[in-house]
Structure 1
Amino acid sequence: MDTLDEIDRSILRALQEDGRIQNVDLAGKVGLSPSPCLRRVRILEEAGVIERYVALLNAAKIGAGLTVFVRISLTSQDSKTVDHFTAEIQKLPQVVECHLMAGDCDFLLRVVAADLDAYRQLQIDHLTRIKGVQSVKTEIPIQQIKLTSALPI
């Protein structure tokens, strides 16, 4: 898909707001009849613009109310060490984001846990035991100002 027109953008904004919106309602919201609207959604899905549909959960209500950011430094940045680290991180469901970084650390993780004790256990049992990890530095946010999964369209 080369470019998005304004109708595509309207569809994407509406779906980011409510991924469960019925096609008839979506069509009305973006000014199309249902068939062309559904065709456009399918094209956006097939092109990979829409990757998947998910439910956003309230972390506190499912026992994952603590979010921490973890800066990881590795002993080396060779492909074997990096690949091993990323494979091990994939196994940890508490790690909800992992980014390879340029700068002071090698990786930045966003981790969710029930509380500080649960995070500390994850750190002791898993993060510090991954071969190639040199240091683990944890940042604890004191207030969430903004959290969104919506991309600006």
Structure 2
Amino acid sequence: MNKYQAVIIGFGKAGKTLAVTLAKAGWRVALIEQSNAMYGGTCINIGCIPTKTLVHDAQQHTDFVRAIQRKNEVVNFLRNKNFHNLADMPNIDVIDGQAEFINNHSLRVHRPGRNLEIHGEKIFINTGAPSRGSANSWNYHHAWCI
């Protein structure tokens, strides 16, 4: 079983900031992310950054195909940068897989091919959550109804 002082589930803004802070303080840290397409979290991959990139290109009257291509380039660049900012630090292990609690200090990480068991003195859950709209809210699901 791999042993860490801190295990962080989720590679979003809070998780990556906490991982770097603890690693710089000398802690041995594992950062678990279930999808390598989400390194860096929602903002970088499917939220703020892609949206603002597309809005900017729309304001510039950029061709749609080129705008999508540029959005993908920006997102891929930032995702890779976020991954290497953590994975290249000596005290951080980035682990792809889905975490499941075995007990208060142990996790089973389900990975293609083989599972890992990880022990953490401290375990931080940074998985995010879906937004909860109100009865009067409007979202992208409604756009298809217009």
| TM-score, structure 2 as length reference | 0.24
Which of the pair is proportionally richer in strand?
2
Higher relative contact order (CA 8 A, sep 6+): 2
